[in-house]
Amino acid sequence: MSVALTGATGFIGRRLLARLVKNGVQVRALTRRMPAEPEGPHIRWISGSLDDTAALERLVEGTDTVIHCAGAVRGANHATFHRINVEGSGRLFEVAQRQQCARLLLMSSLAARHPELSWYAASKRQAEQRVASSARPAVTVFRPTAVYGPGDRELHPLFEMLMRGWLPTAGPQEARLSFLHVDDLVAAVMAWLCHTPAGALVDGGPFELHDGYPGGYTWPRIAAIGAAVRGGPVRRLPIPAGILHGMALVNLMLARGLHRSPMLTPGKFRELRHHDWTCHNGPLTRATGWVPQITLEQALGDRRQWAAD
């Protein structure tokens, strides 16, 4: 089996690349920079970006499956998210169509369920629409919730604080959050690969993915899990909405001034304070047999392997 993979230098893609190679899949991987993983019998690096149609043609050449895991997760304006997530996905999809690829997996996000919240969420929803309803390649859309695990830089600091006995909370106490370990996400992609040998799932999704914790985590529940794992108290540190919003505005202005890509923006503030990020694995489990294996408790207990690499 041969796969064209984007985003293989990122948090999720790097973990996925390792698993594909371990399973003997031939991978052609797009990269904008010198990759950490050397080229080998199973990896061929293709230099270029999602803006570069010729690079995408080289990437997809000779493969039957495209896994599109590249994306902008931070940015200082709508245009950045639109260029990378919407136009980049559309460009890759058109190349896959031209080259008669059998199937394409789009790594969207649960955020796409609420495009009104942020530039990121809107761009993920629009990317889904851009690649929707095609016979060839048949498209499957994954909408994972917040992903954590080895190599993660976003949730890692929060969970580190939790294990030291402090939990900054960014939204209403009754808000429902969800998480997914990166290895469970990778397992879901592998299940998709194995269960759709002749094309995509009959239902191409979008499929939501989380760790299976029923009803979602409240902030107090996360604190209780942290306390149980560390064997000591966890104090919650509620960040008032006004302060968090102010921080997001300042961060955005600074990032624009310094030409950086910020994570905390007013859009991310709205995502963080959204009251319901519960999701449902049922449709994907029925379609592929995938069931998440890693609970937050287990992962927190084994967090030494999380250190960002």
Applying the rule CB under 6 A, the residues between 58 and 87 that interact with ligand NAP are 69-73, 84
Decide if 13 contacts 30 (C-beta within 8 A).
no
Using H for helix, E for strand and C for coil, what is the string for 236-305? EEECCHHHHHHHHHHHHHHHHHHCCCCCCCHHHHHHHHCCECCCCCHHHHHHHCCCCCCCHHHHHHCHHH
Rounded alpha-carbon distances, angstroms, from residue 133 to 108, 136, 161, 188, 282: 15, 9, 43, 21, 22
Q: Tell me which residue of 146, 92, 103 sits closest to 274, measured CA to CA.
A: 146
User: Which residue, judged by CB position, is nearest to ligand NAP in the bound state?
Assistant: 10
Q: Does 7 bind ligand NAP (CB under 6 A)?
A: yes
Q: Does 147 bind ligand NAP (CB under 6 A)?
A: yes
Alpha helices in the chain (DSSP H): 11-22, 53-60, 78-81, 88-98, 119-130, 156-163, 182-195, 219-230, 241-258, 266-273, 282-288, 296-301
Site string for ligand NAP, 19-58 (x = CB under 6 A): -----------x-xx---------------xxx-------
Q: Does 115 bind ligand NAP (CB under 6 A)?
A: no
Site string for ligand NAP, 203-242 (x = CB under 6 A): ----------------------------------------
Instruction: Give the nearest distance from C-beta 33 to ligand NAP in angstroms.
Output: 5
- Of 51 and 174, the one with the shorter C-beta distance to ligand NAP is 51
Instruction: Give the nearest distance from C-beta 38 to ligand NAP in angstroms.
Output: 16
Residue from 137, 144, 171, 205 in contact with ligand NAP (CB under 6 A):
144
- Of 72 and 190, the one with the shorter C-beta distance to ligand NAP is 72
Binding site for ligand NAP (CB under 6 A): 6-7, 9-13, 30, 32-33, 49-51, 69-73, 84, 88, 107, 109, 144, 146-147
